[in-house]
Amino acid sequence: MAEELSFSRAARRLHIAQPALSRAVKQLESALGASVFERSRHHVKLTPAGAVLLRATASLLQNVEESLQRVRRTAAGEEGELRLGYIGPPTQPFLGPLLREYRKRYPLVAIHLEERTPERVWEMVAKGRLSAAITRPVLAHKELGLRTLLLRQEKLGIVVPSTHSLAKRRSIPWSLLAREPLIVLARREGMGLHDAVIAGCRRAGVTPRMTHTPSLIGTVMCYVEAGAGIGVVTESVVAPTPELKFVLLKPIQYVPLVLVWQEDEDAPPVQRFRELLCEWKSQRKLWKDCNWFPKTHSTPSMSDNTIKPLGGSWR
């Protein structure tokens, strides 16, 4: 009616009888306690109150439409929030490019990152402070009742200076660690990695001689370059350099890397992130081929949701 400023034309557009439209306008004015149209035999125009009502109604309808669009985008995982926890070194090869692709696909999803220890990110996911996390399994993971997706089984090995007597070896037995000073990530910072090293040594009848247990993988590498001992790390945390060499430990010991999330808090943005992660995993985009050792060494087959107990065998 406000657009046409004619009862007859407005009634035709609305497909109703003109008397019905007139009654509806009178009812509206009665409810408002104000006239919204000024009528005469020759014209109809908006009153000042009617002009205010028209602007307010247009704004309201626009807000409703925008709200409906946001609801649809949120339900589709195209808008919302992704609070992602992660552990640093094992995710460094892929996390930045992965999040860049996620932001490209879902630019309206706000991403918040938290780098923490494996134990801490599991706790934060369980309490709902994080949407999901990329981390190692921890002792209490079954009790927390969270869902997991296996991303990779990482092989353990040693990292030594290129001048070290073991640097030219493709692999060494665990028993050789008995006579070497070891540098291993502190258990409080990486329980899964630390316990896997201890388990591998025990199976070989070795009592590990840990000279340093720093809190950061970078510090492990600094100790190694300084000649303070040999580091025991997973294959993903260090790239080949002229100064450092990675040597595989046999029999092969694996340390899992998993995505963890709460089934009850599985919001659409988390589902879209998991789908992208699975897509990249299937396309082998998460990790480039490792050239530390021959490709003849294969990773064992595990179903995506299988996590073996810590302290046990991951083979």
For 178-200, what is each residue's pLDDT tens digit?
A: 989 999 999 888 888 899 999 99
CATH classification (class only), 7-75:
mainly alpha
Q: How far apart are CA 210 and CA 184, in angstroms?
A: 7
Predicted TM-score (pTM) of this structure: 0.68
Annotation: CATH topology of 155-254 = D-Maltodextrin-Binding Protein; domain 2 (3.40.190)
Q: Is 56 exposed, middle or buried (0-12, 13-18, 19+ CB in 10 A)?
A: exposed
Distances (CA, A) of 241 to 162, 163, 235, 292: 9, 12, 13, 10
DSSP 129: S
Task: State mean pLDDT over 109-119.
Answer: 92
Q: What are phi and psi for residue 225, nearest 5 degrees? A: -60, -30
Residue with tokens 């109150």: 49
Average pLDDT of the chain, as a whole number = 82
Q: Using pLDDT thresholds of 50, 70 and 90, give the confidence band for residue 68.
A: low
Please calculate the CA angle 80-85-89 and round it to the nearest 5 degrees: 135
Q: Evaluate if residue 249 carries a pLDDT over 60.
A: yes
Q: How far apart are CA 146 and CA 142, in angstroms?
A: 7
Provide the pLDDT for residue 271: 93
Say whether 259 sits in a helix, a strand or coil: strand
In single-letter form, the type of residue at position 75 comes to A
Reply yes or no: is the peptide bond before residue 181 cis, omega within 30 of 0.
no
Instruction: Reply yes or no on domain 79-152+257-282 having CATH 3.40.50.300.
Output: no
Q: How far apart are CA 73 and CA 109, in angstroms?
A: 10
Percent of residues, the chain, with pLDDT higher than 90? 48
Domains 79-152+257-282 and 155-254 share a fold: yes
Give start and end residues of each alpha helix (H) in 204-311: 217-225, 268-282
- With CA atoms as reference, report the closest residue to 230 among 214, 211, 204: 211
Q: Evaluate if residue 104 carries a pLDDT over 90.
A: yes
Domain extents in the chain? 7-75, 79-152+257-282, 155-254
143 and 278 Cβ atoms separated by less than 8 Å: no
Q: Using pLDDT thresholds of 50, 70 and 90, give the confidence band for residue 138.
A: confident
Task: State mean pLDDT over 265-292.
Answer: 84
